[in-house]
Amino acid sequence: MNTKRILIANRGEIATRIARACRELGYTSVGIWTDFEVNAKHLEFCDEWVFLPGKNNRETYLDIQKILKLAEDHRIDGIHPGYGFLSENGTFASACEEAGIVFIGPNPKAIKSMGDKATSKEIAKKAGVPVVPGSTQAIPTVEEAIKIAKQIGYPVLLKAVAGGGGRGMRRCDSDQDILKNFEAVGREALASFANAELLVEKYILNPHHIEVQILADKKGNVYHFFERECSIQRRHQKIIEEAPSPFVGEDEELRKRLCNTAVTLARAVGYDSAGTVEFVMGADRNFYFLEMNTRIQVEHPITEEITGVDLIVCMIQGAFGESLGIPSQEWIKRTGHAIECRICAEDPITMLPAPGKVTGFETNFPQGTRFDNCLYKGLQVTPDFDPMVGKLVAKGIIRDVALRKMRAALDGLFIEGLKTNIPLLKEILREEHFLSGHYNTNYIAEFKPQEKINTDFDHHRVYQVLATIEVRRFGR
């Protein structure tokens, strides 16, 4: 058997997830360790470890030449970048190609085209994909931004041309707001993405953030794996995702149009890997292209749960020119409902990062639960990385069952030593508007679940959890 060697240029739960996929394929997974994570959990799942020297992310996970040197020294066949870091860096993808190493992601041209929001909007428009009204090119001056805002009507969104993750975005309701925010958003974009250029877009009121999972191969096949609802957000960053979308609901004609539109865009850009086409959908159910994430998404597990397809395995197979084993779009079916909660080291009320050290970690989950995580006793969560430490996924035959399982799973997740957003997630999962599926991206601001959190420490509940865990471990 031709065993390929895969370097995982990432850390945390996604590195573990990739290592498991490599093991399933019979490939050798090579994990990275650094001076600031010598006991990283993902290394337990890798076949080999290599050291990446450096004092910070820029000198380690973001250093293209160092990573390529590791690949050369350790006879690497392919590099999987996971998400974040270099995953959407077209220069890195090109450098891998030039070095004769398979980049496990889309081709460099697709990354660069979709990574620039102005270019991606232009491609979408030419393909007949509806886009949010606004500028298709970077706006050079504040005066030009105000002119466009008046043409399309307030409110508008000042938005970085490059990047994502909720950074470099600000709503403006007047000329004065643009005057106040234009330079500030530009500075934030420059600091986050090394590109200060901005777009002006119409701000869709009461929007739903709905995305479609795409998977394509090197043979010209493009498939969709249905949609996900990602409207529960704070600071434009997702914390709860569902598949399928409760807002799309039983409207199969809308679902078909949405998913086929995503496929059309993927074909237009010559896409050839896993990716996500993101849309904003108004209360009138009209939808508009936002952006395309040219990588695997954090929330991919809920799509895997409702379709039964391992997206990471397919992504690796496709990168090496192998068959995905998918005979047709019609072969891909969805069953049940899946929900993901992002478990983050942050204050549940302010929703700001709360670094710290994990002093204890126990779980007691119901059947139908999946927990992709990087937790272990002694883990030091620092400001150097995203505060997410795990992704809790629950699947049920219908949404109500998935919700019930998720509530039970959150009750059975005990993390000591860290402040986490678990109390916030619990509050949302019992709030009536969320339970009914009637929510949009303004949910946190409108219903303020963080203000309803009981901050009293429930010793009784903790003892119940610990007792249950002991019974599960040792019997009665």
Give the Cα separation of 75 and 126 in Å (integer): 42
What is the H or E stretch that residue 92 is in? helix 90-98
**Burial group, residue 115, by CB count within 10 angstroms (0-12, 13-18, 19+):** buried
Pairing mode, strands 28-33 and 5-8? parallel
Which residues are identified as catalytic?
295
Residue 233 tokens, joined: 């957000």
Give the Cα separation of 333 and 306 in Å (integer): 8
β-sheet with 369-373: strand ranges across:
287-293, 274-281, 208-216, 222-234, 237-243, 337-344, 388-396, 369-373
Give the Cα separation of 454 and 428 in Å (integer): 13
Give the Cα separation of 165 and 14 in Å (integer): 17
**Burial group, residue 153, by CB count within 10 angstroms (0-12, 13-18, 19+):** exposed
Pairing mode, strands 48-51 and 28-33? parallel
Distance of CA 180 to the CA centre of its chain: 30
